[in-house]
Amino acid sequence: MTGFWAWFHDAWEIVGALGAAAAAGIAVLLASRERVDRKAAESERDIARGAQRTAEQLDARRERERQARQIAVWVDTDVPVSWEWEPDTGQEPKAPKTFLNVTNHSGLPIFDVGPGVTLSPTDRGPSAMASEAPVLPPGESLKYEVFPTVVSDDDPTDMMWVFRDLAGVRWALNYKGVLRALEDGAYVAGGGEDPAP
């Protein structure tokens, strides 16, 4: 009988070793799965934080642009009507005048308002041509006479009004409605120099 018990003992040792190996394998598998799940959760958390950060930046940008978006810039032409010119008088007819206009539709004043121009799309930024008003109150408008060719689609120059909002941010708004923040002498979205006040 001792042979049977020896065999039985050996069989239980083999079963125990196999059980221990299986338990170790399951522990490694569970630890590996936990690590994968933890990395997936961290990745999802990072994606959610990134989306939240992007949403917060967008909200901050919208809040920052709120006053500047309520400023209107447009071009109009003052064409003399036919009765203003009599061919029999020998006087030359009045030439049409083109104006770059700005109106403050916000409820707050804007400051250091003046027309600006970029000479080409590759120009480094607007340069102020003149300071028309230190303050433009709400509901007020300004006009600046420009050459008609400056506001044609064939001319690469870009006419704009440059101003500072109540928060102190300097903005450039062209007659096509493109608004650009100017910070530390440059466009936020590209190169450029801050116009002289």
**Domain finish residue from 65, 97, 115:** 65
Give the C-alpha separation, 194 to 53, whole Å. 28
What's the confidence (pLDDT) of residue 72?
A: 92
4/52 same-domain check: yes
181/93 same-domain check: yes
For residue 186, pLDDT over 50 is answered with no
Look at residue 52 and tell me if it is in a domain: yes
38/98 same-domain check: no
Q: What percent of the chain has pLDDT over 90?
A: 18
Closest CA to 106 of 57, 175, 173: 173
Task: Specify the higher pLDDT residue, 53 or 149.
Answer: 53
For residue 172, pLDDT over 70 is answered with yes
82/176 same-domain check: yes
3/41 same-domain check: yes
Say how many residues make up the chain: 197
40/75 same-domain check: no
100/179 same-domain check: yes
Look at residue 193 and tell me if it is in a domain: no
85/100 same-domain check: yes
**Domain finish residue from 46, 65, 84:** 65
88/161 same-domain check: yes
How confident is the model over 113-142, as pLDDT tens digits?
988 776 555 555 555 455 668 899 999 998
74/155 same-domain check: yes
**Domain finish residue from 39, 65, 91:** 65
What's the confidence (pLDDT) of residue 184?
A: 54
What's the confidence (pLDDT) of residue 137?
A: 93
SS3 78: strand
3-state secondary structure 114-172: EEEEECCCCCCCCEECCCCEEEECCCCEEEEEECHHHHCCCCCCEEEEEEECCCCCEEE
Give the C-alpha separation, 74 to 154, whole Å. 17
**pTM higher than 0.85:** no
Indicate which CATH number applies to the domain containing 174.
2.60.40
Task: Specify the higher pLDDT residue, 120 or 67.
Answer: 67
174/155 same-domain check: yes
Look at residue 152 and tell me if it is in a domain: yes
Mean pLDDT of 154-173: 81
What's the confidence (pLDDT) of residue 197?
A: 35
103/138 same-domain check: yes
Confidence band (pLDDT; 50, 70, 90) for 153?
low
Structural domains of the chain, count: 2
Both structure tokens of 116: 């600006």
Confidence band (pLDDT; 50, 70, 90) for 9?
confident
Which residue segment(s) compose the domain that 77 sits in? 70-187
What's the confidence (pLDDT) of residue 183?
A: 67
Look at residue 192 and tell me if it is in a domain: no
